[in-house]
Structure 1
Amino acid sequence: MNFFLTIILDGLIQASWLFIVALGLTLVFGVLKILNIAHGSFYALGAYIAATVVTMVAARSLPPSVGFVAMLISVALIASAVGLLLERGLLKMFYGRDEVVLLLVTYAVFLILEDVTKLIWGVNPIYATQPYELFGNLEFAGLYYVGYDLVLIPISAVIGFAIWFGLNRTVIGKIVLAVIHNEEMSVSMGVRVNRVYAVAFAFGVLLAALAGALTAPKISMQPGLSSDVIILSFAIVVIGGLGSVEGAAVGAILVGLARAASVHLMPQAELFMIYLIMAAVLMFRPEGLFKRETARRI
């Protein structure tokens, strides 16, 4: 019994931060219709910024709670600014062109950010473990876990619910959904679509960087971090359905459980299991488990 509970908890811990990353990716696609290849780089950027802030706080012998709050605030401010600058200064010049062009542009941003992180932080691993001690160790059904890992589960649930509520129960969310479903009609009704684009892209970048900040105390920051994350997040949004918040949640849980089960039962098949689930979903549901509603053209 404990063995299966271990797999479930490990899977949910994996799914928690993957859900936040995938949520940003699916939101950007839903609004801007862009498959953002650079999304993993924003995750890595958030992780590196968090590591820098945590190291500065630890050097001043401040408590871990200060480092935790400081890294979240700094990452939120910097990531939002980077997202706005990229959307206003680069992406908006390519709107209306072929989708492949935008795909190549985001791939170029990915390559640039990879080199920028190497120039700023170098190629040696960086650690920021201070916040990892914040919640101590917890016992659950006879199993011992680091409290920080378990706290990520409710944090991701709160973020997911907040975004779902914002999209479906607020005026701003209704405007964003209107742009998602029918951009031309939204323009005719006076919606400033370009402003919605900028906010949506900046918020997507913020979510990716926030996931990076939350996982920074758990991992070592080093080159190549963004590549692994973008592969997993793409798998999640393909499984769940591009543009769907609910799909991102279900896809993250499936991928998290698949990774956890593979690690415990067959480590060599970890990536294979994820691709197997993705292939099985695409065979029967090419649009993903939660297809986003589209307007029918007559």
Structure 2
Amino acid sequence: MSNLAMVKKDVIDVVSDKVAEFKQKGELDLPKNYSPENAMKSAWLILQETETKSKKPVLQECSQDSIANSLLKMVTLGLNPAKNQGYFIPYGKQLTFQPSYFGNIAIAKRVANAESVDAQVIYKGDELEYENVNGRTKIVNHKQTFESKMNGEVTGAYAVIKFKDERPNDAEIMTMKELEAAWSQGYGKSDTHKKFTGEMAKKTVINRLCKPYINSSNDSSLFVDAYNDSRNTKAEQEAQEEIEENANSQVIDIELEEQDQEESEAIVEDVPEEELQPTGTEGPDF
């Protein structure tokens, strides 16, 4: 067994045991077609390719406790990084897991009974008509011309969530000023935001729209804590550019045996560079 395989076994075994414990206690309700084992296999392939800002492998630089916790949060949220539903983000010695906007849409469909979540960019010259009804925002009409889109100056974005039940649609509208304020919490207006302003705006407004429905639609404190922890981490704020280019009341936490952790960390340090390359299906293109 290679050194990397031994590290993988230590971490995956710990997470698998924790997942089994949560399921046995009835604290974890996973999607019907979700396989924690397959998700972790996909995640491990991606982690072998993931590097820190200093171009060092996260499996070498990040603590094994944080690697295990990031995998556990991924499983708790029922997400799979192979479907671009989340990202592993290194922050110092800590590895974190953050749902992508695809992940937020998947969660909203699952726990908030959403049928669809869509977003549109608002360009200078567009005419957007909306109204607020009983605390909900309703998009009445969005008139966009070819000229306004060609002009390319983004002035805002909106997202609409449509439900499978009788609930009316809801929407979130953000001005460019609000979008830039949100981006400034991380890297600010990075090169990614400048080059792909429209796409970044849609992702941001979708995340903002989905969050309250996700938080209010699931009775599992384990799920809600994992979701909010993954969003509130400082790494999320400081890694927006890296994502694109490259826990609270009930803490979900895994602590590896101290002796095992020391041994595993020593093992990782000796892993040759070639062993850190993927050997099977490639992970998502970040």
Fold similarity call, TM over 0.5: no
Normalized per residue, which structure has more helix? 1
TM-score, length of structure 2 as denominator length: 0.26
TM-score, length of structure 1 as denominator length: 0.25
More relative contact order, 1 or 2 (CA 8 Å, 6+ apart) = 1
Normalized per residue, which structure has more strand? 2
